[in-house]
Structure 1
Amino acid sequence: MEIQRDDNGKKGQFSAIIDGEEAGVMTYTWAGNDKFIIDHTEVNPDFSGKGVGKQLVMAGVAFARDNNLHIMPLCTYAKSVFDRVPAIRDVLF
């Protein structure tokens, strides 16, 4: 699985690509210079059950850690990952 990030300075997204096909996407909106809000996570039904959504959230966490950023998970799926994985809560705001 390859994770790609696209960003226009106001909004962005992480896309999961498997065998050249978009398996899922997680969108976010910037909230200042050092925070972003995860607002939506969606997995292509053909890739359901393969951990795509969690990998997208984890890519967001890695991006936040690498760039000294914080995340607000408004998306219910992303929030559920933060609830289940205490080790990633260091990037919450």
Structure 2
Amino acid sequence: MEPQVKDRPERSRYEIVLTGDDGPETAGFAEYFLSEDEIAFIHTETEPRFAGRGLGGLLARGALDDARARGLHVLPYCPFIRGWMGKHPEYADLVPQARRARFGL
């Protein structure tokens, strides 16, 4: 099964979940702080045994796509999310114009 990105608001994080023979397993997560119309990404990590599969990028894309769909402004404090956005400039518009320079976007 394809990896799925799921919002877990009760844990304030997006998770990337893989489903195998033993059931679903969380392969990584992106923690956030949600306040009104802003979502601040503060920490992202993937399980080391899943390294090299591109799951971090899928997680970033899924979380940012969801933020866009919800009309949220993104504050990428997390170095991974910020770096991923730098490589995918089509997501820079999620960061408020006045704050892009602060994040190098």
Q: TM-score, normalised by structure 2?
A: 0.79
Shift of 1:53: 1.1
> Within 2, Cα distance between the matches of 1:70 and 1:54?
19
Write 1 or 2 for the structure with the bigger share of helix: 2
1:40 alignment partner AA: H
Aligned-residue offset at 1:81: 0.4
What are the ranges of 5 or more consecutive residues in structure 2 without an aligned counterpart?
97-105
TM-score by length of 1: 0.89
- Provide the identity percentage: 24
Match of 1:23 in 2: 27
How much has 1:33 moved relative to structure 2?
0.9
- Deviation, 1:92, is 1.0
Instruction: Provide the residue aligned with 2:8 in structure 1.
Output: 6
Q: Structure 1: which 4+ aligned runs deviate by more than 4 Å?
A: none
Cα RMSD over matched residues? 1.3
Q: What is the count of residue pairs matched by the alignment?
A: 90
Query: Which structure 1 segments of 5+ residues have no match?
Result: none
The 2-side partners of 1:74 and 1:91 are apart by 13
Deviation at 1:60? 1.6
| 3-state DSSP of counterpart to 1:18 | strand
* Counterpart contact for 2:5–2:63, Cα < 8 Å: no
Q: Which has the higher contact order (CA 8 A, sep 6+)?
A: 1
Supply the distance in 2 between the matched residues of 1:24 and 1:80 (Cα, whole angstroms). 17
